[in-house]
Amino acid sequence: MTNETRKTIEVDMRGQVCPSTLLVALDNINRNQKELSSGAVKLLIRTDNRNATTTIPHTAANMGYNTEVVSRDGYYELLISHLE
C-alpha cells in the first residue's frame, strides 16, 4: 500500500503566540510542495485555533490538497494530503 510508504510531517502550532496559523500552514505546504504533490508525504497540523479548521482546508483545496479535520481534546488535527 502506498499509505505505508508515506511519511507524515508534523507541525504543532498549539499555544503559540501565533502570528497567523494559516500563513504558517501555507508556508509548510509550500516548503513541502513536491513531496505532498507526489503523495510521498502528508502534513499533520495541530492547532487550537478554531478558525483555522475552515481557512486551512479551503485554501488547501484550492491548491489541490485534501484536508481531514479531527477534533481532539482541546485542539484540532488537520491532515493535509495530495488530492487523489
7 vs 34 by CB, closer to another protein? 34
61 vs 70 by CB, closer to another protein? 61
Per-residue mark of binding to another protein, 18-37 (x: CB under 8 A): xxx-xxx-xx-xx--x----
The three-point CA angle 72-48-76 to 5° equals 30
Q: Is 63 in the site for another protein (CB under 8 A)?
A: yes
Q: Is 55 in the site for another protein (CB under 8 A)?
A: yes
- Distances 47 to 6, 29, 34, 80 between C-alpha atoms, Å: 22, 15, 24, 13
